[in-house]
């Protein structure tokens, strides 16, 4: 049975929400979950939860890395943190995957320190699956690495394509480079050089993808440097939240629009389901010799449950094996 370690202390509403998500997953998914964190806190919430007894266990971790802790320093100092111990479990192959909704910086840092990158890969990248008008699209990297070279972008492409093919089920998925225009001459040196690298390969490379094409679903995989990717993700979230707050405000101001909103509820719910990150269950840290899923800090129990599902898929579909083979093949 696949074993998944879950950082019980990570996320805005940890450990409660993480424990609830684990309990939910134990009933629905075929795996064993190791909750990593302060045993007493975990037990307190686990005792209240409805879960499958023999599918959840606890690994005690006495320290917690907080969201605002400086990542590199706290990973080195807090050896007994849930993030450190979770990744140790992964390293020792006592679990198949590790999930955290805690500090992304700390998870990336601990992952890089304790685990090697896959053969041929220089830097890991975080890939996030975004909903689009067509199929979901993986944007990679969204912040694992901010000193990006053209080769890193190429490797992100290979990793994202493996994910799109085997997990998102795309046949012959396409990859593009996020850029400010279609033309070859557009953009920074980084993206121009990356384009040349991609063109030397047999990958299904469609050239530059403009930001406006991300959500129209032009490419299955969009590569970008971590700084830009992080901003794409956060700015979308921020815009979505602001607009939905505005919409709520306007809809409830007067009676008729309010009644209208109630009648329209099923449509709003359908949209919400489509664009809700909790449906997608976290972002894989691709390129390291281990399987790590980074969940949103704001994850609810459902998002945690779906992150466990994503981890299981990650293991089952042997993504890392495919990445190693595909990197060898491109030979650039």
Q: Which residues bind its own copies (CB under 8 A)?
A: 68, 70, 105, 132-133, 143, 146-147, 178, 180-181, 183, 185, 187-188, 210-216, 226-228, 230-243, 245-247, 250-251, 253-254, 256-257, 259-268, 270-271, 274-275
Enter the DSSP assignment of 118: P
Look at the chain and count its residues.
Answer: 332
DSSP-based helix, strand, coil % in the chain, nearest 5? 50, 15, 35
In whole angstroms, how close is the CB of 38 to its own copies at the nearest point?
26
In whole angstroms, how close is the CB of 45 to its own copies at the nearest point?
28
Nearer to its own copies, 70 or 169 (CB): 70
Nearer to its own copies, 276 or 289 (CB): 276
CA distance 311 to 304: 10
In whole angstroms, how close is the CB of 263 to its own copies at the nearest point?
3
Enter the DSSP assignment of 11: S
Quick check: helix, strand or coil at residue 323? helix
| Segment holding 101, helix H or strand E | none
Nearer to its own copies, 54 or 185 (CB): 185
In whole angstroms, how close is the CB of 316 to its own copies at the nearest point?
31
Retrieve residue 96's tokens: 């198949």
In whole angstroms, how close is the CB of 308 to its own copies at the nearest point?
26
Nearer to its own copies, 165 or 296 (CB): 296
Nearer to its own copies, 26 or 179 (CB): 179
3-state SS string for 251-317: HCCCHHHHHHHHHCHHHHHHHHHHHCHHHCCCEEEECECCCEEECCCCCCHHHHHHHHHHHHHHHHC
Contact 55, 81 (CB under 8 A): no
In whole angstroms, how close is the CB of 195 to its own copies at the nearest point?
14
CA distance 248 to 274: 19
CA distance 76 to 73: 5
Contact 282, 296 (CB under 8 A): yes
Nearer to its own copies, 59 or 141 (CB): 141
In whole angstroms, how close is the CB of 277 to its own copies at the nearest point?
13
In whole angstroms, how close is the CB of 188 to its own copies at the nearest point?
6
Q: What angle do CA 127, 129, 134 make, to 5 degrees?
A: 140
Rg over CA atoms, the chain: 20
Nearer to its own copies, 73 or 113 (CB): 73
In whole angstroms, how close is the CB of 164 to its own copies at the nearest point?
19
Nearer to its own copies, 1 or 270 (CB): 270
Nearer to its own copies, 53 or 253 (CB): 253
Contact 132, 214 (CB under 8 A): yes
Order of all β-strands in the sheet with 56-60: 56-60, 32-37, 3-7, 97-100, 292-294, 283-286, 125-130, 137-140, 221-223, 175-179, 205-210
CA distance 160 to 220: 8
């Amino acid at each position: 049975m696949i074993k998944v370690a879950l950082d019980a202390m990570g996320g805005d509403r940890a450990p409660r929400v993480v424990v609830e998500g684990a309990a939910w997953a134990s009933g629905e998914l075929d795996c064993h979950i190791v909750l990593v964190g302060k045993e007493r806190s975990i037990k307190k919430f686990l005792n209240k939860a409805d879960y499958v007894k023999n599918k959840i266990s606890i690994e005690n971790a006495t320290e917690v890395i907080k969201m605002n802790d400086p990542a590199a320093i706290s990973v080195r100092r807090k050896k007994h943190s849930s993030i450190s111990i979770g990744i140790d479990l992964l390293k020792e192959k006592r679990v198949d995957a590790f999930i955290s909704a805690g500090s992304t910086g700390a998870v990336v840092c601990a992952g890089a320190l304790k685990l090697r990158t896959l053969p041929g890969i220089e830097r890991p990248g975080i890939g996030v699956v975004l909903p689009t008008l067509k199929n979901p699209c993986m944007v990679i990297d969204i912040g694992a690495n901010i000193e990006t070279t053209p080769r890193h972008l190429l490797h992100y492409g290979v990793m994202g394509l493996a994910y799109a093919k085997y997990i998102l089920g795309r046949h012959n998925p396409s990859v593009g480079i996020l850029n400010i225009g279609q033309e070859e001459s557009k953009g920074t040196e980084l993206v121009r050089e990356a384009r040349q690298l991609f063109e030397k390969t047999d990958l299904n490379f469609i050239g530059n993808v403009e930001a406006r094409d991300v959500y129209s679903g032009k490419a299955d995989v969009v590569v970008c440097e971590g700084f830009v990717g992080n901003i794409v993700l956060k700015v979308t979230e921020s815009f979505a939240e602001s607009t939905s707050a505005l919409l709520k405000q306007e809809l409830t101001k007067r009676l008729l629009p309010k009644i209208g909103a109630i009648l329209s509820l099923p449509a709003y719910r359908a949209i919400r389901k489509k664009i809700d990150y909790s449906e997608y269950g976290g972002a894989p840290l691709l390129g390291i010799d281990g399987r790590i899923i980074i969940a949103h800090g704001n994850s609810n129990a459902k998002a945690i449950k779906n992150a466990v599902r994503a981890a299981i898929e990650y293991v089952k579909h042997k993504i890392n094996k495919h990445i190693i083979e595909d990197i060898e093949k491109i030979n650039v």
